[in-house]
């Protein structure tokens, strides 16, 4: 099986209307075929969280985790940022790949695209990734991209997370 590169993946907008439909259990609003992965409790938590963020500040919507990864018509996951750059210029990335498509390079392709996006934004100076210490797949995904461990934090949703940063 050939490993996927960033050029093999394209991103399409996953807007608030689609997220709201996914919250209601309707994957057809996306106008692409979504798997049950986009309707899991974890995914629904994310859609609700991002919709609340967009409602609070619609201008920041373009930064949210609103992108679906699409390859040959198959939606393999989603990626985006936790929000716009903060006052220090830090943006935090987030990506998730449907288990049916893992171990093929899609997470790495998403990471490359997120890093490109951050580099193109003048106000973004630092890219952050927070990863659970037992998430060996995500730790391997960021390896080789210049991320340095700078600390740890407790996340109410995810528990203990290691904090990694690199220049945008």
What's the pLDDT tens digit per position in 38-93?
Answer: 999 989 998 998 899 888 888 888 787 666 777 677 889 999 998 899 999 999 99
Average pLDDT, the chain: 89
CA angle 145, 147, 149 (to 5 degrees): 155
pLDDT for position 15: 82
pLDDT for position 1: 60
Torsion of CA 136, 74, 112, 148, to 10 degrees: -20
- Burial status of residue 70 (CB atoms within 10 A of its CB: 0-12, 13-18, 19 or more): middle
pLDDT at 140 over 90: yes
Q: Are 77 and 68 in contact (CB under 8 A)?
A: yes
Tokens encoding 21: 């439909």
Mean pLDDT of 107-130: 95
Which is more confidently placed, 90 or 35? 90
Write down the pTM of the prediction: 0.88
pLDDT at 134 over 90: yes
pLDDT for position 40: 92
Which is more confidently placed, 54 or 147? 147
């Amino acid at each position: 099986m050939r490993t996927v590169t960033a050029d093999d993946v394209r991103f399409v907008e996953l807007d608030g209307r689609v997220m709201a439909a996914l919250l209601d259990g309707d994957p057809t609003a996306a106008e692409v075929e979504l798997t049950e992965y986009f309707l899991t409790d974890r995914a629904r938590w994310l859609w609700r969280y991002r919709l609340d963020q967009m409602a609070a500040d619609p201008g920041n919507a373009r930064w949210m985790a609103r992108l679906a990864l699409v390859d040959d018509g198959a939606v393999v996951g989603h990626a985006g940022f936790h929000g716009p750059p903060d006052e220090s210029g830090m943006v935090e990335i987030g990506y998730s790949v449907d288990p049916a498509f893992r171990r093929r390079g899609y997470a790495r392709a998403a990471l490359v695209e997120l890093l490109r996006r951050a580099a193109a934004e003048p106000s973004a100076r630092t890219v952050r990734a927070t990863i659970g210490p037992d998430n060996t797949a995500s730790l391997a995904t960021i390896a080789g991209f210049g991320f340095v461990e700078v600390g740890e934090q407790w996340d109410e949703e995810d528990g203990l997370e290691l904090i990694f940063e690199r220049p945008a």
